[in-house]
Structure 1
């Protein structure tokens, strides 16, 4: 979360996620002799909102959500047998002081428990949030075919 090092943010949060996803398709994809499977990429709660303090970081997390939703279409599922899912953790395992409010945030075990739900119940292309120590929940993101013109 340091936009002063934006090249590194993009290398890790964009390029590495693309490379890992493409490796997954190459080695797991039915179209390449594999058996299919599940790929879960980790974005962030910031992949679903904005934050003026670090726009490049936020943009990279939006990228992960868009990448997985695009790979998570029937076209890719039918070709590869791979389900793509996205986990968006909130701030994890730290007390945070937000404008005088003290908040105890999720620990990593909450995200790990949520991964089980995500992998067993998540539909292809779905996006899930883990925050505040609560059970994970799916985010409803409209696609352009359901938006009014």
Structure 2
């Protein structure tokens, strides 16, 4: 598979005004992207991010669009404004997400519905029509919680498993052949961001808090490490694949077993 060339491409990053989303946008510009859209609900962070980008990369390299990914209309507006500004859209990074089982209805709306809206709009409408080269790309951000159970945050885990499943399904060769848009997934390990730093109390109650210590079993990485690995994945990951990034390691592929071929352990019948 030829490497995806970021040069002169246009990207839309949800949750792009700060944190990892902003780092993804910066790294894309470093790789020669023509423009990035920072789609976020934080207007103050968005203004600061644009100022920082303009100082480093010059004018007209980025726009901020208010976007609550819980609303499909907001997401579509982000696509429309990206195309109005840059005439193209090549890359979508579905990055926006929250970790807070205490408000699980909102968590599901952002983490699951938000990704679904992005892929439906990107894959079936905008990227095939407005991509500037032969191939487009959608990157869905899942989590280590999308491949491994965590007792303290079961609903968050469920949302990230959902992202995992959507990525494998939309990344199937059937969808790639009809759209020429790769769909890949990234599972960041424990990353030193506010999502983790402010995790205490963001669960279903004290009995869930007791097993928070289980996170100590996972290697921790800095945000910059994660963002740098993202570029490797954007350039090289085949459609329908999931990549774990944790600690200081290179991205490594996660594959589900084929249930039709796996050894079966049957539940015994009552005697």
| TM bucket, shorter chain | 0.7 to 0.9
TM-score w.r.t. length of structure 1: 0.85
Other structure's SS at 1:39 match: strand
Work out whether 1:4 is the aligned partner of 2:102: yes
Matching residue within 50, 63, 76 for 2:175: 76
Where relative contact order (Cα < 8 A, 6+ residues apart) is larger, the structure is 1
Give the drift of 1:13: 0.3
Find 2:150's aligned residue among 41, 51, 65: 51
Shift of 1:54: 1.4
Q: How does 1:1-149 map to 2 (within 5 A)?
A: 1-25=99-123, 26-29=125-128, 33-35=129-131, 36-93=135-192, 98=213, 105-144=220-259, 146-147=261-262
Which ranges of structure 1 fall in alignment gaps of 5 or more residues? none
Q: Does structure 2 conserve the Cα–Cα contact (< 8 Å) formed by 1:40 and 1:87? A: yes
More off after superposition, 75-84 vs 101-110: 101-110
Give 1:34 deviation, angstroms.
Answer: 3.9
Which whole-Å CA distance do the structure 1 matches of 2:127 and 2:260 have between them? 30
Rounded to whole Å, the distance in 2 between the matches of 1:103 and 1:111 is 15
**Distance in 1 between the 2:218 and 2:239 partners?**
33
Give the Cα–Cα distance (whole angstroms) in 1 for the partners of residues 229 and 126 of structure 2.
26
Larger radius of gyration: 2
Q: How many positions carry a matched residue from both structures?
A: 145
1:109-132 per-position Cα deviation (integer Å, ceiling 9, x unaligned): 111111121112211110001111
